[in-house]
Amino acid sequence: MKTSNCVGYNQITPIIKVVDYCNFHCNFCRYSNNPHKSSMTFQTFKTIVEKACDYNISNGCYQLSITFHGGEPLLWGYDNFVNAIVLEKELKIKYPQLDIRNSIQTNGSLLNDRWIDFFSENNFDIGISIDGPEEINFHKGDTGNKTVIENIHKLSQKKCKFGILSVITNDHAGWADKYYEFLVEHDIHSVGFCYCMYDEDRQITVSNNILTDFLKQFFIRFYEGEYQLNVREFNNVFKLCLGLRTGSCSFSKRQRCGNFFSIRPNGDMYFCDPYSLETPPLGNILTETFASIKAKPELLKIIAAAKEGALKECGNCEIKNICGGGCYRSSSLDGKNAFCETFKSLYPYIEKVVRSFSKKCRGVIELHLIYLEPMSSMGYNRAKTIMSNGERILVSMNGLYDSKKIECKDYPVWDGDRYDESWSSDSWQDSHRNQIVNFKCLHDIYNTQSQN
């Protein structure tokens, strides 16, 4: 097992905009009509990766999560991606403990066998931007959903690690069932939802009423269905309801704001991922370091505003330990999260389900460790728990409960009371990782329930 002091708050996660243009023309996207099309030089990419690596290692964190982003990142070209892997291999020779993870967010239209084999061989997590069935999907090019769906089928056939990211809009009203069936039909097993503000005028992609109805109805299908599905937002709520920690920054009480930087092709760096191309940069990575940018008053001011906003608005909220105030980028000028109404309705609803789930676990209250299996294309939301008497039991993170006891000799048992938050990026991939998490809280939850 790797040794690292990385706890998620001391690592830089670069979101690298290898190009800032796209072959699609989505109306809500700032890159679709960007007149200043530019592409990152490989030297700039190299500088970013080396400096991020230096920063993380000097903070005791031998991990680096790289997100290839855009615009449409495949427009950067195949050779650059090959060179990126060569660079990473060189860094791993220099720092044998270093663990680099790659992810890419793409519209999926340019994928072909060569790309898919490359991403598969190099263990990329692939996120496809698609909002659901054709009628409610606004991420589409000249051929509509067709090419993207064909490529999703290829990813599935080749058993690649992939999921979709869907922007939820008012057009999703009444579409939760069809959205769920769309996932089943196309063999999609991992999904993240994006509901956000999308421009400097603080427009939101979806109203709270529509979002709440959509998520609740989708949750019912998810929870009652047999289909193996990882839903990023639901998994985060599950973990937090059970007293576990989640790596997703938007559920982390904004403690991780200031560790994610998007970097434009010319090296300009920004807090997180700004909504406007006109946002002034914090600095440029070609002439500065991550440490110097992290110390800048402009950034410290943003981080303070993020934390103060959450404290002010959420201080007395009954569900603040689950919600954490949501993403700072969805805060209105008064500091209130634009989706607060949805959170207040949805999270207690899910919590109720989780608590009834933990109650069902009467037979396993002695367990103290849980081992989430490595992601596999079909079974990644299964978890194997280890009971203190050495027996194991299968529990599914979607709430379904399988009391079948299984042999456990293939699985190591670690000492309790430790978290391995080694992979705590704000992405759907998070729940695909091996994680060791303390599970004593289940006992506490059960006891609380017994007393009530």
Single out the segment in contact with ligand SF4 by CB under 6 A; choices: 53-61, 131-139, 185-193, 322-330: 322-330
Is 232 among the residues that bind ligand SF4 (CB under 6 A)? no
DSSP, collapsed to helix, strand or coil, labels residue 422 as coil
Of 31-39, 235-243, 256-264, 392-400, which segment contacts ligand SF4 by CB under 6 A? 256-264
Nearest Cα residue to 103 out of 288, 289, 232, 268: 232
Distances from the Cα of 214 to the Cαs of 174, 180, 228, 282, 342, in angstroms?
7, 11, 19, 37, 10
If the CB atoms of residues 297 and 315 are measured against ligand SF4, the closer one turns out to be: 315
Kindly provide the residue ranges of all beta strands, DSSP E only, lying in 98-208, ordered along the sequence.
99-106, 125-129, 162-167, 190-194
430 is a contact residue toward ligand SF4 (CB under 6 A): no
236 vs 250, which CB is nearer to ligand SF4?
250
Q: Check binding of 327 to ligand SF4 (CB under 6 A).
A: yes
- As measured in angstroms, the least distance from the Cβ of 223 to ligand SF4 is 21
State the first-to-last Cα distance of the chain, in angstroms, to the nearest integer.
41
Residues 6+ apart with CB under 8 A from 295: none
Of the candidates 22, 426, 427, 429, which one interacts with ligand SF4 according to CB under 6 A? 426
Asked if 238 and 350 count as a contact pair (C-beta separation under 8 A), the reply is: yes
Does residue 158 interact with ligand SF4 by CB under 6 A? no
Task: Kindly state whether residue 272 participates in binding ligand SF4, applying the rule CB under 6 A.
Answer: yes
CA distance 124 to 66: 10
Is residue 343 a contact residue for ligand SF4 (CB under 6 A)? yes
Identified binder of ligand SF4 from the candidate list 46, 202, 221, 320, rule CB under 6 A: 320
Q: How far is the CB of 327 from ligand SF4 (least distance, A)?
A: 3
Q: By CB under 6 A, which span of 3-11, 107-115, 326-334, 415-423 interacts with ligand SF4? A: 326-334
Q: Does 71 bind ligand SF4 (CB under 6 A)?
A: no
Q: Is the dihedral of CA 150, 152, 155, 156 positive or negative?
A: negative
Contact between 329 and ligand SF4 per CB under 6 A? yes
Binding residue count for ligand SF4, defined by CB under 6 A: 23
Measured from the CB atom, the residue of 422 and 424 that comes closer to ligand SF4 is 424
User: How many whole angstroms separate alpha carbon 304 and alpha carbon 20?
Assistant: 29
The footprint of ligand SF4 on residues 177-196 (CB under 6 A) is none
Bridge partners (DSSP) of residue 103 are 67, 125
Q: Interface with ligand SF4 includes 249 (CB under 6 A)?
A: yes
Contact 295, 319 (CB under 8 A): no
The one among 286, 317, 400, 441 contacting ligand SF4 by CB under 6 A: 317
User: Taking CB under 6 A as the rule, does residue 254 contact ligand SF4?
Assistant: yes
Q: Which of 233, 313, 421, 430 binds ligand SF4 (CB under 6 A)?
A: 313
Instruction: List the Cα angle 257/261/264 in 5-degree steps.
Output: 155
Q: Is 256 in the site for ligand SF4 (CB under 6 A)?
A: yes
Question: Which of 218, 260, 261, 423 lies at the binding interface for ligand SF4 (CB under 6 A)?
Answer: 260
Looking only at the bridges linking them, the beta strands covering 268-271 and 260-263 are antiparallel
Burial 194-222 (b: 16+ CB within 10 A, else e): bbbbbeeeeebbbbbebbbbbbebbbebb
| Contact residue for ligand SF4 among 250, 381, 425, 427 (CB under 6 A) | 250
> Among candidates 227, 191, 236, which has minimal Cα distance to 378?
227
User: Do the beta carbons of residue 249 and residue 257 sit within 8 Å?
Assistant: yes
CA distances (Å), origin 76, targets 113, 131, 277: 17, 24, 19
Shortest Å distance, C-beta 204 to ligand SF4: 14
Is 299 a residue that touches ligand SF4 (CB under 6 A)? no
**Residue whose pair of structure tokens reads 């005791």 in the numeric block:** 60
φ, ψ of residue 128 in degrees (nearest 5): -105, 130
Pick from 19, 229, 340, 442 the residue near ligand SF4 by CB under 6 A: 340
Which window, 19-27, 172-180, 319-327, 395-403, contacts ligand SF4 (CB under 6 A)? 319-327
DSSP character string of 157-184: HTT--EEEEEE--GGGTT-HHHHHHHHH
Least CB distance to ligand SF4 at residue 400 (A) = 27
Q: Which of 110, 220, 319, 387 binds ligand SF4 (CB under 6 A)?
A: 319
Binding residue for ligand SF4, selected from 45, 325, 381, 431, defined by CB under 6 A: 325
Cα–Cα distance measured from residue 420 to residue 435, given in angstroms and rounded to the nearest whole number: 6
Task: Tell me which stretch binds ligand SF4 (CB under 6 A): 25-33, 239-247, 288-296, 318-326.
Answer: 318-326
C-beta separation of 22 from 70 below 8 A: yes
Nearest to ligand SF4 of 163, 325 (CB atom): 325
- Residues of this chain that bind ligand SF4 (CB under 6 A): 249-250, 254, 256-257, 260, 272, 313-314, 317, 319-320, 323, 325-329, 337, 340, 343-344, 426
